[in-house]
Structure 1
Amino acid sequence: MSENAKAAGVNRAKLYQLVLFPLNNGATNVYYVLVLSYIATFGSNVLALGTLFASVMVTAMRLCDAITDPIIGALMDRTNGRFGKFRPFMAIGNAIMAISILILYGITPMIPDTMMWARYAAFVGLYFVWVIGYTFQTSCTRSGQTVLTNDPKQRPLFT
């Protein structure tokens, strides 16, 4: 880092950090597109849930972000461990998303037709868990971009 950057209080990131950090956002968006493009169809066609229910539930869960985002943001603000502020949330968020989707798509269809209440509950519960993992991931991406560098010359490179 140059002396001018140190004197001005500019935090510069290394090139590999600028290249690799946004991949978290890419992975999150892949999950998001794959899950949301299929979740309402899966709920209505595979699980035989009402189409209106599946569609409204997906929209309602997006509104849950208004509650979960500040909570997870507050957790991140209080975190500063051995693995940093964001790495644990990125890893945990990814694991939550993967496990919840595998269970949702793999095990939920095995719930018998005679227990439709359990299908509805599993669908909502597992999708809510997925939303929590998604919030972990996206919160890291948005927060990390502001922490990684405050150099105005580097910011446009990865945002």
Structure 2
Amino acid sequence: MRAVREACVKLELGYQPGITFIVVQKRHHTRLFCADKKDQMGKSGNIPAGTTVDQIITHPTEFDFYLCSHAGIQGTSRPSHYHVLWDDNRFSADDIQNLTYQLCHTYVRCTRSVSIPAPAYYAHLVAFRARYHLVEKEIDRLVFHALTNHCP
């Protein structure tokens, strides 16, 4: 958090915005099911989009929750697990859950809601793309090193 705060001050002296830091976890083994069959959605029997669980299966003292923000088209829907690590803005649990759900509807490549909020989705895409640039630079460095060491 210190590095983020320092970066804000570099933008403008005295600039200290409220920061809410949330980790979105996609890979876990938790699945949610409807207790009553009449609540199931579609042929796959998934829970409705927007279903949030913030009790019983979550951590007893930490601020975390599960949100199934998308309608499962095929197979069992996997909710995302959200961990609120820092909250200067003092959002209520309902406010953060609603905000994350609404952000899942702002991804421009899809007309339906997606499984994680659009900013997290975009960050994932940028990191995936950056990996190729790093690999190419490493390969270029290795080729350059090999050529300079083996050429007379």
TM-score w.r.t. the length of structure 2 is: 0.30
Structure with larger Rg: 2
More strand by share: 2
